[in-house]
């Protein structure tokens, strides 16, 4: 799994993962040629330099002259400029001068000065996309210093790769302190499904603003988690759980029997939707204090009432868990959802579990599972970076 924790250099996030590519290449360049050569290739991109760069490897089965191309991109955060370097397996030590440019309104435009058949040419790349699962790169040459352009290569990227037998691509847009995203991370981990991850920007003062462009494009609710599994884009942690169970049934995270399954869904919903409002009252403990003392006092009073509500829920779950290892038959999505709610309650200095030994033992049991332990450790690290000490 790879990830980035900051908003820098996110312009190319859409490209991370594996792609099927439809190539259209002009047969001859700057020769008034109208014949296009079409063929299918693949591309796989990943991040480098902690988000300040990325690399992609392209298998380009150009008829009669197949080769591999590699793009290395690095970002200058001060100048907000990407430099793009291209390497070609047919002459790996040669290196075109880098292209330079940036994204504006979702379209990336990059220019460079190259030599084509001994003549200087201005080169332009344009990156655009019309869906989370489709994007386009096009290259044009200008022999008259940018007055007129001839497009000579178009690469249409799409993610429906599995039908072609090309590599799987799974990407999660998550948040460092997003409990719903962490639910999905735990489920992916339980099912041993590898994924790439992008952490969307988050601060205690501004929350999820500014929103990550990929999340805006994928989810009309503009929320994380967003999961992109090949050509399927999904949002909402519960819906993602259901899809993961259908597509990757083993190990199961839901009981099989319909009533047990329904009960499990109800417990997940109870954690997600019934425990959430009091938890939100506690979340205000880590956001900046309200400058109005009266409003701040009301906030604190609300948090105290929320603590009492959460204690009542603890008592109910203590009863549900009596004599059981997990909430349902075997470890399930309900355990993941309740674990996250209690973890957030505890990190926000809500009621402790001391008075509820059965719930405390269950919480330790779930917390010892590798996926839950990893999520808990990452949330603690995110708190050290993003939240005031409580
Ligand atoms: N029901 C959704 C809730 C998702 C949700 O509330 N996500 C939060 C982060 S934990 C978010 O993105 N909030 C930003 C916003 O609502 O503007 C799910 O289960 O995924």
| Average pLDDT along the chain | 91
Domain boundaries of the chain, sorted by first residue: 5-158, 171-386
Q: What is the pLDDT of residues 318-371, one digit of tens each?
A: 999 999 999 999 999 999 999 999 999 999 999 999 999 999 999 999 999 999
Ligand 1 site residues (CB inside 6 A) read 175, 178-180, 208, 222-225, 236-238, 272
Query: Which of 156, 171, 191 has the alpha carbon at shortest distance from 231?
Result: 171
What's the pLDDT at 342? 98
C-alpha of residue 317 to centroid of ligand 1, in Å = 24
List helix spans (H) across 100-222: 179-190, 213-218
Kindly report the protein residue whose alpha carbon is nearest to atom 17 of ligand 1: 223
Kindly report the protein residue whose alpha carbon is nearest to atom 13 of ligand 1: 223
C-alpha of residue 207 to centroid of ligand 1, in Å = 11
Instruction: Please give the structure tokens belonging to residue 238.
Output: 């519960």
Kindly report the protein residue whose alpha carbon is nearest to atom 1 of ligand 1: 236
Ligand 1: which atom is nearest the Cα of residue 207?
Answer: 14
Rounded Cα distance between 204 and 259, Å, is 41
Using most ligand atoms within 8 A of CB, pick from 186, 214, 221 the residue to mutate for ligand 1.
221
Ligand 1: which atom is nearest the Cα of residue 240?
Answer: 20
Ligand 1: which atom is nearest the Cα of residue 177?
Answer: 10
The edge-to-edge listing of strands for the beta sheet with 196-199 is 196-199, 170-174, 226-229, 232-235
Place 6 in a pLDDT band, splitting at 50, 70 and 90: very low
Kindly report the protein residue whose alpha carbon is nearest to atom 11 of ligand 1: 223
C-alpha of residue 235 to centroid of ligand 1, in Å = 9
Place 3 in a pLDDT band, splitting at 50, 70 and 90: very low
What's the pLDDT at 5? 38
Asked whether the predicted pLDDT for residue 133 surpasses 80, the reply is no
Rounded Cα distance between 220 and 265, Å, is 24
C-alpha of residue 77 to centroid of ligand 1, in Å = 29
Across 155-164, 294-303, 353-362, least confident range:
155-164
Fold agreement (5-158, 171-386): no
Ligand 1: which atom is nearest the Cα of residue 225?
Answer: 20
Using most ligand atoms within 8 A of CB, pick from 176, 180, 204, 269 the residue to mutate for ligand 1.
180
Asked whether the predicted pLDDT for residue 163 surpasses 70, the reply is no
Q: What is the pLDDT of residues 229-254, one digit of tens each?
A: 877 889 999 999 999 999 999 999 99
Q: What is the pLDDT of residues 35-44, one digit of tens each?
A: 999 998 878 8
Rounded Cα distance between 276 and 86, Å, is 49
Quick one: CATH architecture of 5-158?
Beta Barrel (2.40)
Rounded Cα distance between 68 and 60, Å, is 6
Place 132 in a pLDDT band, splitting at 50, 70 and 90: low
Q: Which CATH class is domain 171-386?
A: mainly alpha
Contacts of 146 (CB under 8 A, 6+ apart): 111, 122, 124
Kindly report the protein residue whose alpha carbon is nearest to atom 6 of ligand 1: 223
Please enumerate, as own/partner, the contacts of 311-315 that have beta carbons within 8 Å and a separation of 24 or more: 311/351, 311/355, 313/274, 313/275, 313/278, 314/351, 314/353, 314/355, 314/356, 314/359, 315/356
Using most ligand atoms within 8 A of CB, pick from 223, 241, 286, 341 the residue to mutate for ligand 1.
223
Q: Are 182 and 172 in contact (CB under 8 A)?
A: no
Ligand 1: which atom is nearest the Cα of residue 184?
Answer: 20
Place 9 in a pLDDT band, splitting at 50, 70 and 90: low
Asked whether the predicted pLDDT for residue 160 surpasses 60, the reply is no
CA distance readout (Å), 278 to 32, 193, 294, 335: 68, 33, 20, 19
Contacts of 266 (CB under 8 A, 6+ apart): none
C-alpha of residue 236 to centroid of ligand 1, in Å = 8
């Amino acid at each position: 799994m790879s990830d980035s924790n900051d908003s820098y250099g996110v312009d190319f996030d859409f490209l991370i993962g594996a792609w099927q590519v439809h190539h259209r290449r002009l047969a001859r360049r700057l020769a008034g040629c109208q014949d296009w050569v079409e063929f299918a290739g693949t591309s796989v991109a990943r991040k480098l330099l902690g988000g300040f760069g990325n690399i992609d490897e392209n298998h380009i089965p150009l008829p009669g002259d197949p080769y591999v191309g590699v793009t290395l991109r690095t970002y200058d955060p001060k100048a907000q400029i990407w430099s793009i370097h291209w390497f070609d397996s047919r002459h790996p030590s040669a290196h075109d001068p880098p292209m330079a440019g940036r994204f504006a309104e979702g379209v990336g435009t990059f220019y460079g000065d190259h030599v084509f058949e001994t003549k200087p040419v201005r080169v332009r790349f344009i990156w655009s996309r019309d869906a989370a699962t489709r994007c386009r790169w096009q290259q044009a040459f200008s022999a008259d210093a940018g007055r007129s352009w001839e497009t000579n290569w178009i690469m249409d990227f799409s993610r429906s790769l599995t039908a072609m037998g090309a590599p799987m691509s799974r990407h999660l847009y998550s948040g460092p302190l997003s409990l719903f995203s962490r639910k999905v991370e735990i489920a992916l981990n339980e099912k041993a499904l590898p994924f790439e991850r992008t952490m969307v920007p988050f601060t205690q003062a501004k929350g999820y603003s500014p929103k990550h462009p990929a999340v805006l494009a994928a989810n009309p609710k503009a929320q994380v988690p967003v999961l992109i599994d090949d050509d399927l884009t999904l949002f909402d942690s519960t819906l993602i759980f259901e899809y993961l169970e259908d597509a990757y049934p083993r190990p199961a995270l839901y009981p099989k029997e319909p009533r047990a399954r329904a009960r499990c869904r109800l417990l997940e919903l109870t954690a997600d939707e019934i425990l959430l409002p009091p938890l939100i009252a506690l979340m205000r403990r880590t956001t900046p204090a309200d400058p109005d003392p009266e409003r701040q006092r009301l906030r604190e009073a609300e948090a105290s009432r929320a603590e009492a509500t959460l204690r009542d829920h603890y008592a109910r779950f203590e009863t549900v868990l009596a004599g059981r290892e997990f909430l349902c038959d075997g470890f399930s999505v309900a355990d993941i959802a309740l674990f996250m709610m209690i973890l957030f309650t505890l990190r926000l200095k809500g009621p402790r579990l001391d008075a509820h030994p059965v719930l405390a033992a269950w919480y330790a049991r779930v917390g010892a599972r590798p996926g839950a332990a990893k999520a808990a450790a990452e949330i603690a690290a995110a708190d050290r970076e993003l939240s005031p000490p409580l």
